[in-house]
Amino acid sequence: MSAPKLQRLVAFVESAANGGFSAAARRLDLTPAAVSKSVQRLEDELGLRLFKRSTRQLRLTPEGERFLAQVAPGLRQLDEAVAEMAQDASLPRGRVRISAPPGFGRRYVLPCLPSLAAQHPQLDIELSLENRKVDLIGEGFDIGVRGGTLEDSGLVARRVARLPLVLVASSTYLHRHGAPPSADALSSHQCIGIRLDGGAEIPWRFRRGGRSHDLRPRGVRLWLSDPEAALDLALAHGGIAQVGLHHAMPGLRSGRLKALLINEHDPGDREIAVHYAHRQYLAPRVRVVVDALLDALAGHDDLQAAPGQLPGAWVAG
């Protein structure tokens, strides 16, 4: 339905409901002449007289009464739909779908959800934990929590923290095999590599002469597709792994793990960010979840850690 036609129908219904063009004009914030003209054009379009006019009153014709009975319910439904959507624009309710990597999602996103659900009982929150690149828009997700090198994807990306990489091994492994004094010495160690589902290997990067270069240690004989599994294997004394420092922090703090070669290893430029589609007209159901995630992640000490700031006791000498 065109806007002019809708305007004429509204003018007709309001004139009938309020008993005249002047009263309808006050309701619609128009002039009486504009309302009268809209009704006249509607009558011309229908080829019917809808009102009996006199200088003192306006009365519906029988045809006008039948037409009013047909169109008034539809306009009322439109009003109700607009009112409901306006309410939705101010209240967080409905389903919010979040995508996050399994390890990060379990450790940092899951703890936010109980309080969100308690504060907003009309929210339904769905968290999908997958170790793959997700098309947020194409797959119907509202929010993505992702770590990596941020790219310009057309999405809003709210950066939370850096995600430096660190080389770690268990204290037991280092007691048995010793700590490598340099990157070159890694070839004589059992190293744990990560090869993602798509086949891409996560390189080990080191700084030399003011430059960074990739190194695939010859000692890599164990390959895993999940960074969290690489950490688990290191904790089980399986060798040296390159993992996110935020994942390694509990093991470093407890003394089960030691960081290696922090002056030579390049921690990279990975970051963690909360992604969503639109900044303007962001639905309240999405906004409250985004805000809660940003607050929780920005306030987490393990996400603010840097290899160069680790206590000496956490680093293998």
3-class SS of residue 7: helix
d(CA 13, CA 11): 6
pLDDT of residue 153: 60
The predicted-structure confidence for 99-117, as pLDDT tens digits, reads as follows: 998 888 998 999 999 999 9
Say if residues 246 and 302 touch (Cβ distance below 8 Å).
yes
Is 317 among the domain residues? no
* Dihedrals phi, psi of 299, to nearest 5 degrees: -95, 5
From the CB of residue 61, how many other CB atoms can be counted at a distance below 10 Å?
Answer: 14
Say if 295 falls within a structural domain: yes
Task: Write out the residue range of the structural domain in which residue 233 sits.
Answer: 165-267
pLDDT at 127: 94
Question: 159 and 169 share a domain?
Answer: no
133 vs 129 pLDDT, higher one = 129
Looking at per-residue confidence, does 29 or 266 come out higher? 266
Q: How far is CA 29 from CA 15, 18, 22, 33, 35, in A?
A: 13, 14, 10, 12, 10
* Residue 82 pLDDT exceeds 70: no
Phi and psi at residue 37, to the nearest 5°: -65, -40
Q: What is the mean pLDDT of the chain?
A: 86
Domain total in the chain: 3
Interval 6-14 mean pLDDT: 86
Question: Is 77 within the bounds of a domain?
Answer: yes
Q: Flag whether 314 is in a domain.
A: no
pTM of the model: 0.66
Structure tokens at 188: 């004589």
pLDDT (0 to 100) of residue 74: 84
SS3 of 179-209: CCCCHHHHHHCCEEEEECCCCCECCEEEEEC
pLDDT classification of 258: cutoffs 50, 70, 90: very high
In a domain, 172, yes or no: yes
Does 56 share its domain with 117?
no
- Residue 161: φ, ψ to 5°: -165, 165
Residue 267's alpha-carbon distances to 148, 153, 191, 270, 280, in angstroms, are 12, 24, 17, 8, 35
Read off the DSSP letter of residue 220. Answer: E
CA angle 300, 306, 309 (to 5 degrees): 110
What mean pLDDT do residues 127-137 have? 83
- Same domain for 177 and 229, yes or no, is yes
pLDDT tens digits for 195-212?
Answer: 876 677 888 999 887 788
CATH number of the CATH domain containing 109? 3.40.190.10
